[in-house]
Every structure is written in structure tokens, then in C-alpha cells.
Structure 1
Amino acid sequence: MSDSTDTADDKPSRGTPGEVFGTFLKLGLTSFGGPIAHLGYFRDELVTRRGWLSDHAYADLVALCQFLPGPASSQVGFALGLMRAGWLGALAAFTAFTLPSALILLAFAMTAATVSGPIGTGALHGLKIVAVAIVAQAVWGMARNLCPDRERASIAVGAVAVLALVPGAFGMVGAIVLGALAGLILGRGTEKPVGGHVTMPVRRGQAGIALAAFASLLVLLPLVAGGSQTLAVIDSFYRAGALVFGGGHVVLPLLQAEVVVPGWVTPDAFLAGYGAAQAVPGPLFTFAAYLGAVLGPEPNGISGAVIALLAVFLPGFLILIGVLPFWDRFRAMATAQSAMQGANAAVVGILGAALYSPVFTSAIGDMRDFTLALVCFVLLMAWKTPPWVVVIVAALGGAGLALTA
């Protein structure tokens, strides 16, 4: 990432796009458990088993992608493919890692509407209930990591207050901006960066083009979105992908504001799809494929899924490419660290607000629903049960509740 000299084991070995595709297809089929778990799978397969790069270099990539907005695990995979086999390798890594879960969720979207009867509808309701437990787990874990002191905890609560006053996407953007400003005022950053460094095959000119494209699309898409529904869908999913700080679960409130609030997707369909997304391997961002397929207005179906999927991933990859040549210098800036700490604390508040509405208010109708949600939460937190197993438990539990109603 910098022009400084790497140690011998920091220089990544080279391979082919086909090798990258096969490796990441295996990871896309087997990587359950969310972004943090994905990073563990990547390290085991690519650092320990295959020796594509050193632990030092891998730690640096992880630090970068967790610092930036976007889907961290997919960004790490994209960068690893880029290091291994150039731009075709980056495309191969993204496609192979994303395709399995995207296809599964697309199939679920195309068949969920045909589900009928108490067992089927109860199972779908169970998928809504498990979302309560999964988002609660995410809020708890992120709060412990990103709000470790009273100042950042206060920023998180302030973000909830902002959303209470200004709901929707505009309020979320405002909360993140105010959180970053509060972080600057607190000045918790240091000039000591984390991790090592690794050279990436990205020229500064290419990085500048990527950053310009990222910013231009973010500004111009809302101005032209009124011209067609397709552009409106691209704008909504692009904006959601551009504002995701702190982990894949944060995309939930952003996408809810973009597709449920305008009436493109019903709250029930939204939460059922989010629950189903927990049961599949690969990146949580493939939830966008499900949403694109079930959109009320066209484009929907397969074309809607493809458009939504590409639009939600694009900003994270553009900003990653844009900062790669400048990362070593940027991450050592105390002001940048302080702003990101404040923004991440605000993100915890945004996800906490989403836990209440729409997740809890849409899924929990009575004490029986609440009990099933608590069972799922305890399985996740205390028993460390894999999320996909908890999703199955919730679906069976929802069916059982429907039969005993």
C-alpha cells in the first residue's frame, strides 16, 4: 500500500484468476457466521494453508477494510484476489465468494410468496423472530468493541436520538456525520497505526479515478434517480452500501430505510429475507439480491436481484481501490482515527434503533414470540450456536407456534 520496502514474506505470491475463483468458491460455500467469522476462514485458508501472504500483511488488509465503509469481508476477499491475480483475480474472488449465497437467496425470494398454510407461514414468521436475536447479538458485540467508554456510549445514544427526531436515510447520514465530528472533538486517535504494510497493484491515478467515481455516484445518482425506477433502485442500494460502517448487520437499517419506507418491499418480506440470509454462507450483503428480487415495482426478479447486488457492493470496492495507495499515511493520522471512532460509535446507535424498529416491533406480537426470540438469543450468546442452526430452530419454532395458536 505504501512505497516503503516490504519484508520478504510480505510480498504476495502470484497466481491465476482460475485458482482464485476455485479457492473463493470453496469459501463462499462454507463460510458461515458473518464477517468476523469470514475473516477467520480467509486466514486459515489463504495465510495458513496456502501461504498467499504473511500474517503481517493479512492483518494490514483487515485493518484497512474494517476502517472503511462497505462489506469488510468481501473487501478483504477482493483485495486478496487483486494481490494474487490482478484485476481479474479481484473479480474472480468477488464473484465466487458472493455467488452461492446470492443464488440461494434469489431462489428463496422467488418461492417465499408461494408458501401457504400454518406451517409455512409460521416458519416465515420464525425467520422474522430470529432477526431480533441476531441483531441484538450484533448490537451487544459492537457496543462492547466500539463504545468502550462513556464518551462513545453517549455518541451511540445521541445517534438514537437523532433517528428518533429524523427517521430514515437522512437521519442516518446525519447521525454518522455528527458522530464523526464528536470523535474529532474527543480526539481519541493516536499516531500509531495497527498492522504491517503490503504493496498492492493499484496506481495512484487508478485510485484517484475510483475515489472520483465513488463520490460522483453518491452525489449524482439522487439527482437523476427520478428519471427511472431502475436508477432509483441503483441509487438506493448504492447509498446503503456506501454508508455501512462497522459490519454487515449495519446494512439492515440502511436498506430498510431505502426499500421499506418507500413501499417497495413489505416489512414482513424484508424481515423474512433478513432471517433467511443468516442461514446461508457468504457475505450478508447478498441480502440485497433477495430484496432486488422481491421489489414491488420493476426491476424485480432476476434483473432486480442483479442490479441491487452490484449496486450495494460497488461503493465499498471503489473506496477500497481509492485508498489502497495512501493507506499507510492515512491510517497514521490521529484525526482520521478519531473521526472513525466517533462514526463507529454512532453506527452502534443506528443499529440499536433498528433493533427496536423495524425488527422488534414487526416481529414480536406476543409473549410467545418474545420467548422464542429469547431462546434464539441465548443459543447465540451463551451456547455459541452457529447462526444457521439458530435460524433452523427459529423456523421450526415459528411453525410450532402457528400450529398451537
Structure 2
Amino acid sequence: MFERVGDYPVDPIMIGADDFAQDPRRDKLNLTVGIYQDAQGQTPVLRAVKAAEQRLVETQTTKSYLALTGDAEYCEALGQEVLGASWRGDWVAAQTAGGAVALRVMAELLSQMPDPPKVWLQTPTYGNYVPILMAAGAKFGQVPYYDPIRCEVTFEQMLDGLGAVSPGDVFLLQGMCHNPTGADMTAEQFTALLEVLEARGIVPWIDLAYLGFARSFEADCAMARQIAARFPECIVCITLSKSFGIYRDRAGALFVKTRKADRGGLHRAVSAIVRSGASHAPDHGPSVVRTILQDQELKALWLQELDLMRRRVAQVRVEIAREECDTFGTQDLAYLARQQGMFSLLPLTGPQEAALTREHGIHVVKGGRVNVARLGTRDIGWLVRAVRDVMAQT
């Protein structure tokens, strides 16, 4: 029967990682999967995480099931931390196995509504959104967000695209350090966007995956807080893989704001969807997060370590721009120093991108996405020379 299995959309990030693994060359550079690495090429376990894990070993008394929506204390601590004063009693919350499961639960909920809304995406956007929405059977469309050749946000085009969106539809946007572009809206642009969404009756759905990698954890929560304060209904998905360095431990959450009369039914719907899919979320990562957020010393240590990671990534961006200017006297990559977070898009055509891998052993995600956080000091010159070489090709 399996010869009838059709083609499935695969996240381009995973394709890029597979291509790297199959490349037989020893002299190759992997800029695909979104993990943080230090200058030695390691993804460290944070000291705050180690301390919290040790505390859990000593104090945890059971491994029994939690509710389908997870640990209420974890959701409460994370909700207060991310949403601030907007975190009150008008939210339905669920602990999830990272942000991808939170996204999938919400996509299924939307697709199962009597009159399913259409989900609108920024383009280019996170490579897993389309597979998640398709798997859930959700309707979706796209609006322009970023021009990878001109290396700038196409804000007015995005607003024009939203002119085709119907009231009651959903706009899935990303928080700071937008993946894959690394290009964020200005504060003024974001305020203008919210005005358009409010005026047109569009429900905002924000995905937060890189809190702390733009300016600080507190500052990077501002977008979600503005949405939560302004809209009676909105959706917030969170993953903490990058912020706490706990990629494999799967800590995430889904927060949905709605009217008081609708919360009971929404909670039952979320619980049922969780049960039919991932069922109970893993709890080790969320327990680590809860332990850190509830202890002022551990929280201070974690924020200090997160800030060090953020500053290293920002410095790598500056060094790329400096290396190009010093070596070639050009500024084609200068925009990288103005962007934030792990990811950016290289200003390459399809053939140039293919040449980058074929001729220089540098593997990127289709569309030119690179994870600058995986660059060591000795890799920066390699990348700059390779990009300059393929850009000279027609």
C-alpha cells in the first residue's frame, strides 16, 4: 500500500540539514538549523538550566500525568513573564511540546470551526508554517513582508496585501528576530499594522521563538503585550528552545485571549485537540523554565546568560559587515549588522545560492536563509569571500 504515499511538503530547514549531512566533504559549513552556538561551535547547557535541573532531581516527587493543558503553574509564570499586565483571567493557556505543537493545535482549532477563517502569512516566513497549516487542513494565504534582494521590509506592500483580508480572518506574524529574515518592523510600523488589523477586524496571531535575542527578554515581549492590551481576541504561541537553550526538551505554550463566556468551550476544544494529537506535553523543559522563573537568583543568572548569547550574535553580524568592507571595500552585507537575531537572508539568486554550496561547501536553507549564530570567528571570512565570489557570477 505504501507505493501510494504522495509527496508531502518538507520544511526547507530540514532539507538543508539533510543536504549538509550527505555532503562528503570535510571542509563544509552548516548554517541551516536554528540553534545557537558559541565561538567554539558548541551549543552549551546554561548554568541556570543545570542548577534548575539539579533542584528538580532533588525535589520532584512524581512523574505522573499532568492535565492535558499541562502545568498551570508553568503557564501562569510564563504568562506573567511574557504578557505582563495583560495577563489576567481572560486567557486559555496550554503547555505544549515547543512552539510547533502550539501552532498545530491552533491551526486545527481554526480549521474545525463552522466557518473556518483564513490564516494569512508574511512572505517569506518560517518554513514550517505551511506544512503545519496544510496538515491541519487550515486555509491560508500570503502577503509580502521582505525583499531578499533589496534587503528591506516591504511594509507598504504588506499593508496593501492585508486589504484583501476579510474581517474575522487571522494574521500570523512573528515577534522580534523574524525568522527567516532577521528584519523587524520599526515601532511605528508595528503600531500602524495593529491599527490596520483592528480597523479591519483581523485577529492577530503572534509566534514568539527568539525572545531575548533582539534587545532583551523584557523588550522582546513588547509586541505580544501591545497585541494583548489592544485586542479582545488574539493568539500567542511561544517556544523557549532558544531563550533557555533547551532545544530537545520541548518547552512551549499556547495562549488564547477570548471573552469570559467563551473560555470554557475554548478550553475544552484545546484539551480535545491536544488529546487527539500530542496528548500530554513533556514536562522536563517546562519544569526547568518554571523553576528558573520562580527563583530570583536563577532568573537573574539566566537573563545574564541570555544576554551574553544575544551580544555574541550581534557581534558576529558586525564582524561580517566589517570583514566585507575591510577586504573588498564593499557593503553588500552591511545590512546584516542592522538586523537582529540568529537569521538573515543572503541577497542571492537561486543559481548563486546553489554555487555557494557547490563551490564553497556552505550550506544554507533554500531561499538564502543563514543562521549567523553558527558562525565561528574563523568562519566569517570564509562566508564573506564565498558570498562575494558567487555574487560576481551572473
Q: Same fold (TM over 0.5)?
A: no
Q: Which protein is richer in strand relative to its size?
A: 2
Higher helix share: 1
TM-score normalised by structure 1 residue count:
0.28
- TM-score for both structures, normalised by structure 2: 0.28
